[in-house]
Structure 1
Amino acid sequence: MPALTLENIEVIYDKVFLATKGVSLEIGEGEMVALLGSNGAGKSTTLKSISGLLGPERGLVTRGDIRFGDQSILNLGAPERVALGLVHVLEGRRVFGHLTPDENLIAAYRGRNLGRFHELREQVYAYFPRLKERIKSKSGYLSGGEQQMLAIGRALMTEPKLIMLDEPSLGLSPLLVQEIFGIISEINAREKLSVLLVEQNAAATLDIVSRAYLIEQGQVVMSGSAEVLKANPDVQDFYLGGADHVDYHAVKHYRRRKRWLA
C-alpha cells in the first residue's frame, strides 16, 4: 500500500486563482520521491495541500482526494495530520530563533514520555552533530545550513512516517547541500522513512531519489525513475544545465520550447 496518494488534486486561492490542475502522485512506504519544477510551478502549493496548511493563505482543495495510507485526510486539520505521522518542513527553515536548538526540539515533541524524548533527541544529534556543538546558542545565530539541519531535526521529533521537505537546499553552498542531502538519504535508509522532496536543484535531487515528478504550471507533465528523467533531453536542457552545453550567446535566435508546453 502506498504511504501517500494524491488523486487529481485541484487547489484554488481566493476562490479565483487555480494553482494546481489535477495533480496526481504516489509515494511508497520507505520511498524517497522528488517533486521538481521551476519557481511558481505549484510545488509548495502541492505540499501545503498535503499538510493542511492552505487555509492561512486562503487556499482550498476543491477537487480530488489525498490518502495517507488507507485513510482520506482531506477533512483533517494540520495537527491531526501530524499526529498520523505526516510532517512538513517549510521553505525558509522557520526555526524559533529566540530558542536554543534543544528548546526547538522540546517544542516539537508531542508526547509525554521523557525517556522517548531523550531517545529522539539523541537520534537527532547523532544525525546532526553540529547542532549538539551549538546546543547553547540561540537558533537565530546559527548558519543557514545549521538552521536547515535543526528544521529537519525538529520534524524528526514528531516521529513521522512521511517527511516533506520544501527546498532544503535554498540559499546553501554546494558543499552544504551535498552534506544535508547525504543525511536525508541516511535517514531514509535507516529509519525506513518516506520522503517527498520538493526542489529546484534538480541535479542534486535526482542523485538521491528513486523516482521524480516534474510539475509545470500546476500540472504534472512528466514522471518516472530518476534515471529516466536525467536522460530526458528536455529535462537536461531546462533543469540540468543543458545536454550539449550549447553557447546560446553565439546564435542569433533560439526558439526551442519545452515539448510538454508545445
Structure 2
Amino acid sequence: MSLLSLNNIEVVYDRVFLAVKGVSIEVPESGLVGLLGANGAGKSTVLKAISGLLKPERGLVTRGDIAFQGASIADLDPPQRVRLGIVHVLEGRRVFGHLTPAENMLAATSMHRDRAKTRELMDKMFALFPRLADRAKAKAGYLSGGEQQMLAIARALMTEPKLILLDEPSLGLAPFLVDEIFETIKRINQETGVGILLVEQNAAAALDIAHSAYLIENGRVVMSGPAEVMRSNPDVQDAYLGGAQKVDYHAVKHYRRRKRWLA
C-alpha cells in the first residue's frame, strides 16, 4: 500500500485558472520521491493540495482524490492532516524570526502532551543539526539561510511525521550548503523511514538522493520513473541537467529544442 496516492487531481485558482491538470503521483512507504520541473510548472500547488493549504490562496481541488495510507483526506482541514502525519515545509523556510531555534521547534509540538517526550525530540533535532545547537540562543531571524532551512526541517520533524513535503529546500543557498541539506534529507529518510516528497528545481541534486521522480510541466506530469532512469534520459539532461552534449550556439542561427515529451 502506498503512503500517499494522488489520483488524477486538478487544481483551479479563483474558479478560473487551471493550474494542475490530471496529476497522479505515488509515494511508497519510506520512499523519497522527487517532483521536478521549472518555476511555475505547478509543483508547489501539488504540495499545497496534499497539505490542504490551497484555500488561503483561493485554490481548490476540483477533480480527483488524495489518499494517505489508503484513506481519502480530501475533506480534512490542514491541522487534521498534520495529526495524521503529513507535514509541509514551505518554500522560503518561514521560521519565526523573533524566536530562538528551540522556541521554533517547541511551537510545533502542540500535539505532544508529554514534556519529557518534547525534550527528547528536541535533543534529537539538535543532534541531527549541530549548527542549530551552536546557535541555540540566537534569534532565528539572525540565522543564515542554510541554518534557517535546517530549522524549518527540524521543526517539521518535531511533529513525528510519516510524510514530509519539502518545497525547494535549496532555494537561495550556497552550493556547499545545498550538499549538506540534501545529505541530511537523505539521512532522515534512511534512518527514520519517513516518506519524503521533494519539490526541487535543482534536478541534479534531487535525482542524486531520490528513489524515483516525476517531471511536471504546465501542470501535467510528462515523465516519471526511477531516479537513475530519469537522470540518464537525454531530454531531461538537456532541459534540466545542463545538457547531454555541448551545443555550439554561436554556430546556430536559430536554435530551439523541442522537448520530445511535448510533441
Using the alignment, how far apart are the partners of 1:47 and 1:161 within structure 2?
Answer: 15
Give me the identity figure in percent: 69
Deviation, structure 1 residue 70: 1.5
2:176 maps to a residue whose letter is L
Cα deviation, 1:35-68, whole Å, max 9, x if unaligned, reads: 0000000000000000000000000000000000
Q: Which residue of 2 aligns with 1:258?
A: 259
State the secondary structure of the residue aligned to 2:209: coil
Unaligned segments of structure 2, at least 5 residues: none
Deviation, structure 1 residue 115: 1.0
Using the alignment, how far apart are the partners of 1:89 and 1:256 within structure 2?
Answer: 35
Deviation, structure 1 residue 19: 0.3
1:53-92 equivalences under 5 Å are 53-92=53-92
Cα deviation, 1:69-94, whole Å, max 9, x if unaligned, reads: 01100000000000000000000000
**Could you tell me the TM-score, scaled by structure 2's length?**
0.98
Q: Which residue of 1 aligns with 2:32?
A: 32
Deviation, structure 1 residue 123: 1.0
Using the alignment, how far apart are the partners of 2:18 and 2:238 within structure 1?
Answer: 28
Unaligned segments of structure 1, at least 5 residues: none
Using the alignment, how far apart are the partners of 1:230 and 1:249 within structure 2?
Answer: 27
Q: Which residue of 2 aligns with 1:194?
A: 195
Q: What is the count of residue pairs matched by the alignment?
A: 262
**Could you tell me the TM-score, scaled by structure 1's length?**
0.99
- Structure 1 segments, 4+ long, off by >3 Å, are none
2:103 maps to a residue whose letter is E
Using the alignment, how far apart are the partners of 2:96 and 2:9 within structure 1?
Answer: 32
Q: Which residue of 2 aligns with 1:163?
A: 164
Q: Which residue of 2 aligns with 1:233?
A: 234
Deviation, structure 1 residue 249: 3.0
State the secondary structure of the residue aligned to 2:105: helix
Deviates more, 1:241-250 or 1:194-203: 241-250
Using the alignment, how far apart are the partners of 2:227 and 2:5 within structure 1?
Answer: 19
Using the alignment, how far apart are the partners of 2:96 and 2:102 within structure 1?
Answer: 11
| Coordinate RMSD, CA, aligned | 0.7
Using the alignment, how far apart are the partners of 2:192 and 2:124 within structure 1?
Answer: 11
Using the alignment, how far apart are the partners of 1:11 and 1:126 within structure 2?
Answer: 39
Using the alignment, how far apart are the partners of 2:58 and 2:123 within structure 1?
Answer: 38
